[in-house]
Amino acid sequence: MKKPILYILLGLLTSFSAHASENAQLTNETRGAIKALGSELKATLQSAMKSEGPLKAIAVCNVKAPELAKKVSTEKGMEVGRTSLKTRNELNAPDPWELSVLEQFEHRKADGEPVNRIEYSEVTTHNGNRVFRYMKAIPTDDVCLMCHGKQIAEPVSAELKKLYPNDRATGFSKGDIRGAFTVIKILE
Ligand code: HEC
């Protein structure tokens, strides 16, 4: 083999593994941020459901969830949000990249992968920036069904309809993918 070709191959290999390790490091960092947000959200929701009931707990999802996401975003220097194939709040609607990842997640679930382990990351471009993007599936648990399940009792149902006239986030069962956390970090 001619030397220049060898050098090119070596160069490619080195840059490939450098990217792979950059991706792995970013994935680890992002998992931490998502874990913090996920457990804070769940704890806040559960305590509100217990102390004030589901009607008041709507405010936790309505107001607290975006607040907490903003807090974590600022702390971690990345943009953190939630999205879904069936959104309640249109502001959470997926962009084309998120849509294809959410569809990929449904295929992986259908192939038997446990929902709580489904995640995906990629270094790509977004709005002209080189970015790291990460998504992690959010499983539907019992506690979610009161507001996202097949039968939503009054007065919760009426309140949800009032706040979200275009609500598509109902009809879920335990174990379904309710949506996903989604993260964008701008790279140098
Ligand atoms: C008390 C009612 C209530 C419960 C219980 C609840 N949610 Fe929600 N959920 C909402 C509301 C309200 C929104 C819209 C939030 C917003 O405006 O951003 C929402 C939005 C979401 C979103 C963002 C995507 C979208 O549809 O707009 C996800 C993901 C989500 N919920 C997952 C869950 C999961 C998982 C659980 C159970 C652990 C859960 N929710 C329990 C009321 C609830």
- Its sign, for the CA torsion 85, 86, 87, 90, is positive
What is the CATH number for 131?
Answer: 3.30.450
What is the extent of the structural domain holding 74? 3-186
Q: What is the pLDDT of residue 169?
A: 97
Does the C-beta of 169 come closer than 6 Å to ligand 1? yes
Q: What is the pLDDT of residue 181?
A: 95
- Regarding beta strands 177-186 and 79-83, do their DSSP bridges make them parallel or antiparallel, or are they unpaired? antiparallel
Tokens of 62: 């309505």
Q: Ligand 1 centre from 188 Cα, in Å?
A: 34
Q: For residue 139, list its beta bridge partners.
A: 177
What confidence tens digit (pLDDT) does each residue in 93-116 have?
999 999 999 999 999 999 999 999
Does the C-beta of 38 come closer than 6 Å to ligand 1? no
Positions of the chain with pLDDT lower than 50, given as ranges: none
Pocket test for ligand 1, best of 34, 148, 181 (most atoms within 8 A of CB): 148
Instruction: Please report the DSSP string for 75-102 in residue order.
Output: HHTSEEEEE-SS-SSGGG---HHHHHHH
Give the residue, by CA position, lying nearest to ligand 1 atom 40.
144
Of all atoms in ligand 1, which is nearest to the CA of residue 87? 26
Q: What is the pLDDT of residue 1?
A: 54
Report the predicted TM-score, pTM, of the whole model to 2 decimal places.
0.90
Q: For residue 135, list its beta bridge partners.
A: 120, 182
Q: What is the pLDDT of residue 2?
A: 64
**Domains identified in the chain, total number:** 1
